[in-house]
Each structure stands twice: as C-alpha cells, then as structure tokens.
Amino acid sequence: MFALVLENVHDIYIDEHPIDDLAIAGLRGLQKVEPSASIERAEGQIRLLINGTVVSAIPAPERNDGEAWAAVIEKMIADGRRASTKLNAADNEKIYKTMIDGLLAGLDRYSRYSGMVAARRQRQNRDGFGGIGVSIKIHDDGVRVDRVTPERPASRGGVKIGDIIVAVGGAPLKGLKLRKTVALLRGPIGKQVTVTLRREGRPEPFELSLLRVKIVPVTVYYQRRDRIAYLRVTGFNQGTALELRKSVDRARREIGAGLKGLVIDLRGNPGGLLDQAVDTADLFIVKGRISTTRGRHPDSFQLFDATKGDIGAGVPIAVLVNGASASASEVLAAALQDRGRAVLVGSGSFGKGTVQTVLRMPNDGELILTWARLLAPSGYILNKLGVLPTLCTSNADDAEHVLADSLKDGVADRQIAMRRAADNGDEEFRETVRTFCPWRPRDGRDVDIEVAKRLLETPKLYQRALQLSALSAGS
C-alpha cells in the first residue's frame, strides 16, 4: 500500500518530489493519532520517538527507493503500536488516512486520499450505482419520496412523489440517518429490493419488489423558457454528454424552428470527468482543438480535437459562468468561447485548471493525484485565472448596462486578449487580470439570465459579442 502511494506520487504527480521527503512527511502525520510522536532524521537514521523516547531507529534507504521506504514506514508503525496505546488502538484505515494525508500535505490542494467508504461514494457519483431511481428526504416515519426518475424501476413500479418509504427489505427506517437509508436502497445491479410504502388515501402500508438498475446521477436539467432552451449543468459524470444531447434534441422538438438559442448554465458547477467535458464541447464544435493537457508524465500529454457535427445546428449559445465554475466546466466554457461557438456571460471562473488521475488502492480506497495542467484551445493555461466571460456582469444591475459596457470601445476583446496572454507565473499580471471581472455573489435579480436572453433574441448583438472573443479563422 505505502509503496504504491510513494512510487505513484514520485512518478505521476505534476511536480517531482523525492520519495524520502514524502515518506518522512507521511510518518510525521502519525502525530494526528499520537500527539507525542515525532520523527527525527540524523546520522543516516530515521527515528520514531514517543514522549521523547526513541522507539524505532532504522537506517535511511536510498532517496528514491520506494519499496525500501515503504518497509521503513511499516516497521515504524509496528514499533509505534507497541509503544503507544493510541497507535495500537487505531485500525489500518485510520493509519492509512493519517499517513497518506501527511504525505500529500506538501502537494497541491486537489491531490488527496479517500478511504474505502468515501471512495465508494465517489465512484457511485462518477460511474453510477445500483438503485431504483428516487430522491428522498428524511421523514419522521422513514423517508419521503421527493423525486421519481422516469423510466426507472421506482417509476415503472408505481412509486409516487409524496410516498413514505417506511421499510427496506423488511428493516424499519424510522430513526435511521439518510446515508444509511440510501445504502439500503442501493445495492448490486440486477438484484431485487423490497420497499414498504405508506401512501395518502391508502389505509395500510404496501410492498413493492423492485429490480435495481444502474443509476447515473442526473447532471443536466432542461427547461423551456419561451423560445429559449435553458440547460443547467451541475457536474460532469459518465452520463452528462448524453443527457445534454437528449435535452437539446428535446428542445429542438418542442420549440422547433422558432428556437432562438441555448443557455448552458455552468454557474456553481465544480467540474468532474474531463472526457465528459470534452465530449460535451464536441456536441457543438465542428472542428478544431477542444483542450490540451500537459504534465510531467508522458501519458499526461493529450490533445482533444472536435470530431463530430453540431447538434445545435448553429443555433446561438450563451454560457453562464461564475467564480464557482471550475475544472471541467471551465474546459467546456473555454472551448466554446475560443472556437467561436458561444458567448460567455457572468464573471471570471474559479481557475481550477488541473487534471487529477484517480488510482484505486488495494484497500479499495482512492489516491487522487494532480498530473497535468489544462490549456484552452488558444493555448492559455486555465489554472489560477480561469476563463474570462465576454459579457461581464460583476458590477451590473441590469442587462442594458452589461451590453453597453462590454460591447463599447473594444473593452471585452482587449481584456480577453490580455487573459489569453497572461503568464500564470507573473503574480502582478495575474492580479491585474483578476480585477477585470471578479465574482460577486448576490441575491435577487439574475442579471446573467437577462443578458443571455437579450443576446439570444437579438442576432446582431449576439454576432457582435461572438466576434469579440472568438479566435481568428484557422487558429
């Protein structure tokens, strides 16, 4: 376990870190379990002290010998358990978490370790899980059905919004925490689960036997607003690109030739799977670069180019972003902006422009390591500065002022050109760029939506805004 962690961080992480430094940082993490523990490195030895007494002393291996340093860690943990009741009482999962958190503490904030329970939840959110297709909320007698997903077992079995699930598999739910109830409803795909329901208008509870199927959490929500299709994208998992395709197809069927445009709302979207962001951009971009990743490991160099047609058939697109739009959502926004396929509205995005690779550990936990930086089609690095919208709503109270201020005198195109030219290592320049369109969360009036609506309903305005930020032909 420790050898895998040490060698993967050394080989894959975006910046090189010697294995000995990583191992010692991990050992120092033991202080979270045993506050009196300390690590010393002197005279060619690594020493573990408990309450100032040396309880383990081992010759230091070669600097980047992962197997040897893993053996040092294992031996010191064993020696420490014999000398400390607190270390001895800690199970393996707690020791893994403590040690690996310490080992990763000197890296970036996106590299982390998830134990087996947390990792299982993360895999379910990314890849799906066996379930029946309901959203639930805690109720005094169990849980209340808050949403029923169409064409899923609960829907086909007749479960309705407002039903109270009082038992699962015969086990009463009253008093259980929501997470435990969710765990009972979920399970192996293709296996039956029996739910006991109470429904208003029926005197007695009744049972339904439902066959679990693969459920991928919904990330795309469609709403028709007059002749505009509003598409809220909350994250990027394995189903996002397909969901968005279906939503656009539905909008085109419902609204028909009168469809004036699409609003893709990425505000508050923290990201997710890179390949889904690329596939989503590819739905609308006919040709050209979508994104590039670049890191230290040879496999981290990847080029993503458009391969498909435009499912929107050229219909205007406005993308909404804010300071909480991050990672994969920034990849999509930058691609649509640079390729001249959409106008970005809102405020500067978060600037989480790195890619993490997920490594499954022997204990079923996950090691998540940053291994590449993300580049927009025009070549700028997304990290730290994010994407700059064409139409900035930071200081605006109404759509008219946004359109007037952004479209006059080349303000927007000059700022976007500076953003693309920004050197991420130049802190002074970064600070200047950050002042262009800072995120200011506000309650009440949604100016972003107003601007997007006005833009999509006025073709001349849309084309003018598009020309301010799109790359020149052939780029």
Distance between alpha carbon 369 and the CA centroid of its chain, in Å?
A: 14
Domain carrying residue 283: 220-469
Single-letter amino acid, residue 199: R
Regarding whether 141 and 35 lie in a shared domain, the answer is: no
Regarding whether 270 and 165 lie in a shared domain, the answer is: no
pLDDT(2) > 90: yes
**DSSP secondary structure letter of residue 390:** S
Give domain status of residue 134, yes or no: yes
Section 152-157 average pLDDT: 95
Token match 């939506």: residue? 449
Q: Compute the distance between CA of residue 424 and CA of residue 327 in angstroms, rounded to an integer.
A: 16
Residue 386's Cβ-count burial label (10 Å; 0-12, 13-18, 19+) is buried
State which of 215, 236, 264 marks the end of a domain. Answer: 215
Regarding whether 397 and 350 lie in a shared domain, the answer is: yes
CA distances from 335 to 281, 433, 444, 451 (A): 7, 20, 30, 21
Single-letter amino acid, residue 74: E
CA distances from 53 to 39, 76, 177, 368 (A): 11, 14, 44, 35
Give me the helix-helix angle, 328-338 and 274-282, nearest 10°.
30
- What is the rounded average pLDDT for all residues in the chain? 93
Regarding whether 303 and 200 lie in a shared domain, the answer is: no
Regarding whether 181 and 154 lie in a shared domain, the answer is: yes
Report pLDDT digits (tens) over 181-220. Answer: 999 999 999 999 999 999 999 999 999 999 999 998 889 9
CA distances from 280 to 240, 242, 383 (A): 8, 8, 21
Single-letter amino acid, residue 221: Y
Regarding whether 248 and 150 lie in a shared domain, the answer is: no
Residue 391, H or E segment: strand 391-392
Q: Active-site positions?
A: 327, 338, 352
pLDDT(472) > 60: no
Q: Compute the distance between CA of residue 171 and CA of residue 141 in angstroms, rounded to an integer.
A: 12
Report pLDDT digits (tens) over 232-265. Answer: 999 999 999 999 999 999 999 999 999 999 999 9
Report pLDDT digits (tens) over 72-128. Answer: 999 999 999 999 999 999 999 999 999 999 999 999 999 999 999 899 888 888 888
Query: Which pLDDT score is estimated for 156?
Result: 95
Regarding whether 187 and 143 lie in a shared domain, the answer is: yes
Section 226-233 average pLDDT: 97
The values of phi and psi at residue 265, to 5°, are -95, 110
> How many structural domains are present in the chain?
3
Give domain status of residue 328, yes or no: yes
Token match 């079995």: residue? 157
Section 287-308 average pLDDT: 94
CA-closest candidate to residue 323, choices 309, 337, 333: 333
State which of 184, 215, 246 marks the end of a domain. Answer: 215
Regarding whether 425 and 313 lie in a shared domain, the answer is: yes
Q: Compute the distance between CA of residue 81 and CA of residue 405 in angstroms, rounded to an integer.
A: 66
Residue 426's Cβ-count burial label (10 Å; 0-12, 13-18, 19+) is exposed
Model confidence at 12, in pLDDT bands (50, 70, 90)? very high
Model confidence at 473, in pLDDT bands (50, 70, 90)? very low
Provide the CATH number for the domain around residue 453: 3.90.226.10
Give domain status of residue 120, yes or no: no
Give domain status of residue 474, yes or no: no
Q: Compute the distance between CA of residue 132 and CA of residue 410 in angstroms, rounded to an integer.
A: 53
Regarding whether 254 and 208 lie in a shared domain, the answer is: no
Regarding whether 294 and 145 lie in a shared domain, the answer is: no
Provide the CATH number for the domain around residue 173: 2.30.42.10
Q: Contact at 8 Å (CB) between 33 and 94?
A: yes
Residue 170, H or E segment: none
The values of phi and psi at residue 272, to 5°, are 145, -135
Q: What token pair was written down for 427? A: 């802190």
Give domain status of residue 29, yes or no: yes
Q: Compute the distance between CA of residue 131 and CA of residue 189 in angstroms, rounded to an integer.
A: 7
Phi-psi region at 92: left, alpha or beta (left = phi > 0; alpha = psi -120 to 50): alpha
Token match 């406005």: residue? 318
pLDDT(431) > 90: no
State which of 107, 141, 160 marks the end of a domain. Answer: 107
Report pLDDT digits (tens) over 315-356. Answer: 999 999 999 999 999 999 999 999 999 999 999 999 999 999
Model confidence at 475, in pLDDT bands (50, 70, 90)? very low
Report pLDDT digits (tens) over 360-389. Answer: 999 999 999 999 999 999 999 999 899 999
State the alpha helices, DSSP H only, in 265-350. 274-282, 328-338
Q: Contact at 8 Å (CB) between 163 and 151?
A: no
Token match 């009482």: residue? 89
Regarding whether 202 and 249 lie in a shared domain, the answer is: no
Regarding whether 231 and 193 lie in a shared domain, the answer is: no
Model confidence at 433, in pLDDT bands (50, 70, 90)? confident
CA-closest candidate to residue 294, choices 353, 242, 372: 372
